Chain A
């Protein structure tokens, strides 16, 4: 337990920008934009997403909000959580990919691997600990920033609604879905497990390749091209993209549940029932095994 704690602490110290600071930077920036929108200083107006106070000038909207049931209010807040969470999850995705690429490469590059391996920590323990940082610890670290961002947005909205006499300050708070925080953690962990084969592949290239970025990208590109040219199909490409999209949005996900927004604990059987999920776990396990193998072969020559 002490060793696991020590490794996780070391990983977070080394990758503090991606895992600790980045979620807060994104959350702080978005909080600022939200507050500025409610103050009427700016507005967000993109093709996919519009956010301004103009919509509340419409009497129909105001009437709709006043008549909204508890469940409708809860749904609106949940939708807000999803939208706000999106940039944070994207940032998390990039942080995990960058971590996976560098964690076994940097220790070879700076030769510190010989020092790490002179201490009584086995290669399998190190690899599995680092994997647990990518799959479980990093998603957990996004939660406080997301909580902060969501609370800022609901507070700013509530103040704006109360001051503008649209609805009372408590309108949103009464329906606030506190349990969603547990669901978000759970959902991110499921997502990490869904993307596990990609994460493990990238870690593997860091553990053995001289140029891990090239080695990580080249084989998948070659497979996509070969499959496209020889079979005129794109099964590999589609399944690769699937792994990088939310699991509940992936093409392998049962169609009848397409409207699922935030994963519920009761949705576990859905994910566990997907063959693709288990194929991914199996493939990832092979990559992890190879990562352990390559790390265990590190001697002086491999770092010089």
Chain B
């Protein structure tokens, strides 16, 4: 049984393809109101997991989405779940207005006037054919449609892949400012961590089909700290066993796990790490663990 506010419950999810396994024993809980980021390199299993959530691939293990089985109850699930993926492409032959009318005809939770209103703030005309739109505009169209659907869960699989920076920024700001209201739940996969840094409430780091680390952003900010030690404190800081060292503008930056913040502050500037840096550190630590 799922808890009342559990949106996704995944236990021991595995999926093998001919040439190897995409997921091996993956576990995840996503609760209502979370914006969960699945972060990992290409081939980590992010897409496979999101396809399983959408009922596109069958996996072994226990998977429930909104209390439903994605494979068996796919039809019911899809009226409550929306998705934007790098792979899904809007039909190029269609006019924007025709796409809206079609979604209006088949989706009980779609508000066509809301979609038109959202589109009126963009450069996309309802009379334009999808094939005449740039890639960024097509994603914007897809987002406008999804924003006009009263869905409980939004699945975004590398939604901004291949877009230029201005569209990427616009995409996420629109998502958070105009769509997310605290009752909805979003799960986003990406390997471009920086761009969703400020968007997420929770993260899961994935590698080779497994969870490497997970937690809420608040928890991670408590647990991990970065120190930019003053030159005279370098050795002392190093003695506190940083888990990862990187260089920024020629100066070393140390990352600590479960360190005493007060103690660190004595050696220099202390900040929570950026997700991207934390990810690199965790992946490196994970690789070393494997080697050992």
Contacts and interface: CB of A to CB of B under 8 A. Distances in A.
B88 A118 contact: yes
Interface in A90-116: 107, 110-112, 114-116
Interface string B69-113: 000001110110011010111111110001001111111100000
B167 to A, nearest CB: 19
Q: Which residue among B56, B79, B93, B101 has the maximum number of chain A CB atoms within 10 Å of its CB?
A: B56
Given A14-B93, A122-B75, A300 B105 contact: no
A6 B106 contact: yes
A3 interface: yes
A120 B102 contact: no
Contact of A115 (B57, B88, B105, B107): B88
A6 B89 contact: no
Nearest to B90: A115
A110 B89 contact: yes
From DSSP, what is the main secondary structure of chain A's interface residues? helix
B106 A118 contact: no
A206 to B, nearest CB: 16
Contacts of A107: 91
B105 A114 contact: no
B91 A299 contact: no
Q: Which residue among A2, A9, A10, A304 has the maximum number of chain B CB atoms within 10 Å of its CB?
A: A10
Interface residues of A, number: 28
B92 A120 contact: no
Contacts, number: 80
A230 to B, nearest CB: 37
A98 B208 CA distance: 44
B88 A119 contact: no
A303 interface: yes
Nearest to B74: A122
A10 B88 contact: no
Contact of B88 (A9, A13, A111, A301): A111
Interface in A5-27: 5-7, 9-10, 13-14
A153 B101 CA distance: 39
Contacts of B108: 120
B51 interface: yes
Contacts of A110: 89, 91-92
Contact of B56 (A6, A111, A121, A299): A299
B54 interface: yes
Interface of A: 2-3, 5-7, 9-10, 13-14, 107, 110-112, 114-122, 298-301, 303-304
Q: Please provide the 10 A-B residue pairs with the shortest distance between their CB atoms, ordered closest to farther.
A: A6-B105, A114-B88, A120-B79, A120-B78, A112-B91, A115-B88, A299-B56, A111-B89, A300-B87, A122-B75
